[in-house]
Structure 1
């Protein structure tokens, strides 16, 4: 909808191994791939693949790496256990997205973060890439959902992030990397917050409300149906004129 009225939306997501590349016509973009990202003192190759949503004229960029995303699953194994390297996958995804945007030379107005695997994006944008001109005027919005996890990620996650020169005060919430800690970190470095689920924990709701940042309360699907109907009715009328 935004693309059809002159805006431009690009989607970035991990290229999980259970995504069918042939069915969705993914192809590697050589000019964007070919760099290494340093994750905890290791060089990890960054591979960028892309697919399109033709009806929406929208590009979807897939952040890929053989070690992190080849397995035929998303965040947990067949027994429901979190993958032990999910912390490094989150770091790789955050840095991978930002490096891809830099190679595209695209300066977004709004960066909208969804899901805990993407929760380090605001942290890296405001710290590690804090002086990058492309993001100088960008506003970061984090949507918080109830799709979290039990327990913690790797206990050395904060140390791995600080390896990139990020101060310990910036990762205070993920010294013990719980779901709530990751989302609090994302909110800390965002400019606005969306409460994306009706049944969020009281802890996260209270943290968002105490942030003194713009907070959009949870809205059910019925809140959007009428405005969308009005938009498409107006669009049809205008197209006929």
Structure 2
């Protein structure tokens, strides 16, 4: 492992150690893709109370690393894991990270989330300062890490160690910004010069993501379409002003899919593997899923529809619940996997009682069941109201489970909608229940034409959204802002 990485990623979660969503999948794959291209990479992430680290043992390498202002006596312990040859550093402080969940419970966000991630970002900078040489790039992801580019901006003025280091902040979901009271800015350690409408201030509040957008040398987001969308009031979430100000430094780089994990040819979670050349295994996966979830076997010859995602309005779960009675009249079955809004959780569970054997919901998230759903369903539902990139539709394409998705964000960048001759799925606009149902009805019509369906499924499975293309684009972006990524 390299103790002086050229690129230092900073993120609040990383698969396989911690995960609530797509950010973790990105962090588990993009650093490896860059490493394969010859770039030296490291990652910094929190040491949560529940880390999946058995495959990559952790060891304590530094005790009592100071974090400085505003807690001169508060320190962090640093653990290290060897992740396929990459160093992953874990910032440990039990009072902040030893909790059952990463960010929130069903009752809401943790009350001290701002302090937790101020601590994480400050500890990140202090630990990075102790590496043998400064990184060329510090790449922060989402609001939890977005103070790092702000700290770097001001540290470069007073500490020559950071003179050549550049920063990148990536927006995975602009709706989550880390917005807190002004008094917490006073505890952040940022100078008073950062408190203005071009910096950390946002309508009188302290906005962590805006801080990163304001001070990073480059701002990226996770698909080209989303990069254009967030410049508009409809998708800008109040930050379209600062984003337009930084438009020359904004890039949309499409995320990739980690086919080492998500590929039906070699998926360890599946009862039968399959490929475009040997598709029969997909039917066996469907049969197995029917048995596992106690679905009505008489519906096995009809389409099975799947939804895997957070049960929130962003993901359109309410649209699915609205049209479920109509879907049930079409002799299809539906499986839902996810957690989120308690009202939606209760509603989908109630509807299971109305449609036994035809609707199955599993509240929560398990990685193995997510894989088996991707393999077992015929149609994969993504009625999102916004989708910065989306990874699950990339997985569904590879698994031959044709997506029915809203025509926006990364969904538009990855799905070719029917009836295009090269179609790989079904897209609809605007994102509402009526157009969603119409798109599903169209998909069911195509499903009734086996030759057309098979050709479409084969095209979908042959699409390649691997990380190598994105990694090359990131290398170009790093180079464009002055990073020297030549071998040491």
Structure 2-normalised TM-score?
0.41
> 1:151 and 1:81, CA in 2 relative to 1: closer, same or farther beyond 3 A?
farther
Q: CA RMSD in A?
A: 3.0
Q: What runs of 5+ residues in structure 2 fail to find an aligned partner? A: 1-32, 257-413, 415-462, 472-488
> 1:12 and 1:41, CA in 2 relative to 1: closer, same or farther beyond 3 A?
closer
Instruction: Tell me how many residue pairs correspond in the alignment.
Output: 221
Answering whether residue 43 of structure 2 is matched by residue 17 of structure 1, we say no
Q: CA deviation at 1:155?
A: 5.0
Answering whether residue 74 of structure 2 is matched by residue 74 of structure 1, we say no
Q: CA deviation at 1:18?
A: 2.0
> 1:104 and 1:226, CA in 2 relative to 1: closer, same or farther beyond 3 A?
closer
Aligned runs of 1:51-200 on 2, under 5 Å?
A: 51-54=81-84, 57-77=85-105, 79-128=106-155, 130-146=157-173, 148-149=175-176, 152-154=179-181, 156-162=183-189, 165-167=191-193, 168-169=195-196, 170-173=199-202, 175-177=204-206, 181-196=207-222, 198=226, 200=230
> Which of these two proteins has the greater Rg computed from alpha carbons?
2
Q: What residue number does 1:209 align with?
A: 244
Q: CA deviation at 1:65?
A: 0.7
- CA deviation digits over 1:199-235, x for unaligned, max 9? 7532435532322542113536559737838x9xxxx
> 1:124 and 1:115, CA in 2 relative to 1: closer, same or farther beyond 3 A?
same
Q: What residue number does 1:239 align with?
A: none
- CA deviation digits over 1:168-216, x for unaligned, max 9? 3343238424xxx322211110111112263753243553232254211
Secondary structure, aligned partner of 1:142: strand
Q: CA deviation at 1:147?
A: 6.4
Answering whether residue 257 of structure 2 is matched by residue 225 of structure 1, we say no
Q: What runs of 5+ residues in structure 1 fail to find an aligned partner? A: 232-241
Structure 1-normalised TM-score?
0.77
- Kept after mapping to 1: 8 A contact 2:42/2:88: yes
> 1:99 and 1:218, CA in 2 relative to 1: closer, same or farther beyond 3 A?
same
Secondary structure, aligned partner of 2:201: helix
> 1:149 and 1:11, CA in 2 relative to 1: closer, same or farther beyond 3 A?
same
- CA deviation digits over 1:73-116, x for unaligned, max 9? 21112x15111111111111111111111111232112111021
